[in-house]
Amino acid sequence: MTAETNAAGLTDPDPATDTPETAPEATEGNPANREAARYRRQLRDTQAELEAARGEVTKLRTAAAEAVLADVLAKPSALWLAGYDVADFYDDQGSLDVESLRDAAKTAVEEKGLGGFRRFQGSADGGARGESGAKPAPSWQNLFGRD
């Protein structure tokens, strides 16, 4: 275990190797060491929480951007696989730049071959075609067998 000297002249164990399992003797004696160890644990916990919060923000931003791209790309998540980063489309205040996002998606469709939407090129009749002996439209008279 390495030691560092802090501003108060106290020797602190290396924060990277200071865990409750490896340095219990360092925290048992001097109250200042115990307090410093407590602050280091709080710092590590806070850093872990911050990292988790950043991950959640990134997930939410990605979902918002993909919702905007839903009418441009068949699979909006493919934009990130094409080398774009979701953070590039947000400004310092956290606002999404929709126009640059849509432009990037269109560029990705044209230059990188991402699949845009293919418009349906048929009819929605399920293959049925008009027949010469077409049945009349349903009516109350047809229902009760009256012609």
If DSSP codes are grouped into helix, strand and coil, which group holds residue 66?
A: helix
Q: Identify the pLDDT of residue 42.
A: 96
Residues in the chain where the model's pLDDT stays below 70: 1-29, 115-136, 146-147
Tracing tokens 């931003």 back to the chain, one arrives at 61
Hey, what's the torsion of the CAs at 59, 60, 65, 71, to 10 degrees?
100
Q: What is the pTM of this model?
A: 0.54
pLDDT in tens, 99-131: 999 999 988 888 877 766 555 666 666 665 655
Distance CA 138, CA 135 (A): 9
Q: Identify the pLDDT of residue 55.
A: 94
Q: Identify the pLDDT of residue 1.
A: 43
Distance CA 61, CA 95 (A): 10
Q: Identify the pLDDT of residue 28.
A: 61
